[in-house]
Structure 1
Amino acid sequence: MSYRSSVGIVDYGMGNLYSVAKAIEHLGGKAVISAKPNELAACDRLIFPGVGAFGDCMAALEERELDEFLRIAAQNRPFLGICLGMQALMESSVEHGEHTGLGILPGQVLPFPEEALQTPQGQPLKVPHMGWNQLHQLVPHPLFAGVPQDAHFYFVHSFYVEPAHPDLLAAFADYGFPFCAAIAADNLFALQCHPEKSGTAGLRLLGNFLEWSGECGSGCEIG
């Protein structure tokens, strides 16, 4: 492990900042929670966590002048997006109206389709999708090293990412239908679930992130 690797945790007023930081410190990394681009830029790698509404997230990023910083940082160091931090990487969202995202990756954020939200037995599924679900890995990514196939991760979300390029898809989960649960491109990786709340499997993935050089070996290029 890269002992005391500095991990910038993007603080834009929303997100599970301290639970992510606690997990990073537990794994031997140095967590730096900050809303200042210059402090985040000094870190070896970045985590962009998030909870809440897409539009509020983008407004908060722009207010703190973090939007352009993230567009650049997502291309030059190991970068991990979590939950809303994954969704904001996309071009747009229709959550509570139409909103423009960071546009780092091609795709959009959509609501769960009502007609698909039922179990194989025909029972209705609730939104938000909340609780433990299996993560089905599609690529041999370095962040999946030692993470069992179909391991359970913790999810809580009402919208999902639909990437425009199929090679971005790194893992999927099922909730009435298969949806994108992880994306990968070059030095960027993002998850719809919360690894910091996902027990042993989540800690293993975050530990892999601390060691990751940023080389992907699969997926498509950013931009």
Structure 2
Amino acid sequence: MNKFKIAALALFLMSWGVMAQETTSTTTPQKDSSKVAKDQAALRVYQMALRYNDPSVAKSKLYELIEKNPENPRYAELLASLYYELEQFSSAALVALDILKVDDRNIPALEVAAYSLEQLGALDRALPHFESLHLLSGDLFSLYKTSYLQYSLKKYDEALNSVNMLIKNNKSEEQKLTFPKKDNTTQDVSMKAAALNLKGLIYKEQGSTSEAKAAFESALANAPEFEIVQENLKELN
């Protein structure tokens, strides 16, 4: 995901800032300046490895930095994000979960853990991380993912509560989600329309046909060309 690449770049720049601070706040200048210089060199190699598409070297340098700076979570965050970008989801999840053992409010680690566990099919383990992401950041997409996983895990009452929270949030009209179409193209619809569609699916699973129909019709009123909802409504009828 592109946002993980953005996060990795931001964390890299932040780590440079930390290095600069260390050079001005040491009690043993000669020893500490030597360590800072080695860490900066490792970071430069890491950056070059990313630029030249050599993830094995990039990972190696991050492991080196983690070992030398166990108190600094940023290097582990970068490693978790890199594993995710490489679609090595098991490794990404393991690194992220280790970070969360120390700091369960670490947003980058929560993000990597949630998406990696979802990719691995461990929906029950991914769910609490999406819930935490929403609670800590207010991110609406995390709330949508929460509601969808609750629905997938047949936690219908919780899913309805999450969906209703999303529908009532005015920002859900502004944010977009992308869905596939039958002709192999995609279409963007508002998150509110997506939430209303999900609400219809929840009611359908519960056998509440009239409520499901009302939810699907509300979704179409919001996004008339929403193909998936059109199909869901046809199946309901």
TM-score w.r.t. the length of structure 2 is 0.28
Q: Which has the higher contact order (CA 8 A, sep 6+)?
A: 1
Larger radius of gyration between Structure 1 and Structure 2? 2
> Which one has the bigger helix percentage?
2
